[in-house]
Amino acid sequence: MSILNGDSTGDPRIAKKILKVKQDKENILKAASKINEDFKEEISKGDKTKQLLLEDGKRKGLKEEEIFSNNLVFIPTSSSPVLNFCYYITRSVDQSLSVLKESYDKKYGQLEHDPESSASGDIIPDLGKYLFENVTLETFSKIKKLKSMSRSENDQEAFIAFKKFNELCKKYNLDPTKIPDTNTNRDDVY
């Protein structure tokens, strides 16, 4: 019999650790179950998106691993309750930090750059043209719109937008979780 099956060879410390691990696992599964219930709609939409990705990939002759290895975005599904838990907890922390930043900016103001008071006299690049390396403001706006469209009630439209959003994020080496949504203040992908 192995330690994992409860055989601690009579050592009470190991038995205590095994009990603690089992309790921790049970607590995580309960918390994951609660979070998954709270986000049931998003998870259902993720199940549909995953199914469409699988169907599209299989039409192209790809295996499941190949289909999802090209996907930069985590898709919460009913088959990944603990990962969903981690995703939603992380997302809520990011949103809380965003709210704190907004609150700070309202209370103390944002930092501004005054070129005339700059000691170095450096020329400021045209930030309206390029946001990040080779991503123009126009391209970034398109990516944000695709992110919003990926939440469409029309499953086919949402799927096409999701695929294009993922493709552009990969092309421009962007973190999909950092791209704001054009329709809401939420910064999440789903």
Is the full-model pTM beyond 0.75? Answer: no
State the pLDDT at residue 81: 92
- Which stretches in the chain have pLDDT values below 50? 1, 113-115, 117-121, 124-125, 127-128, 185-190
State the pLDDT at residue 189: 42
CB 158 within 8 A of CB 147: no
State the pLDDT at residue 7: 56
State the pLDDT at residue 30: 92
pLDDT 10s digits, 84-119: 998 888 887 777 777 777 777 777 766 554 445 444
Q: Is the dihedral of CA 132, 151, 47, 165 positive or negative?
A: negative
State the helix-helix crossing angle for 40-59 and 155-171, rounded to 10 degrees: 70
Neighbours of 133 (CB within 10 A): 8
CB 147 within 8 A of CB 165: yes
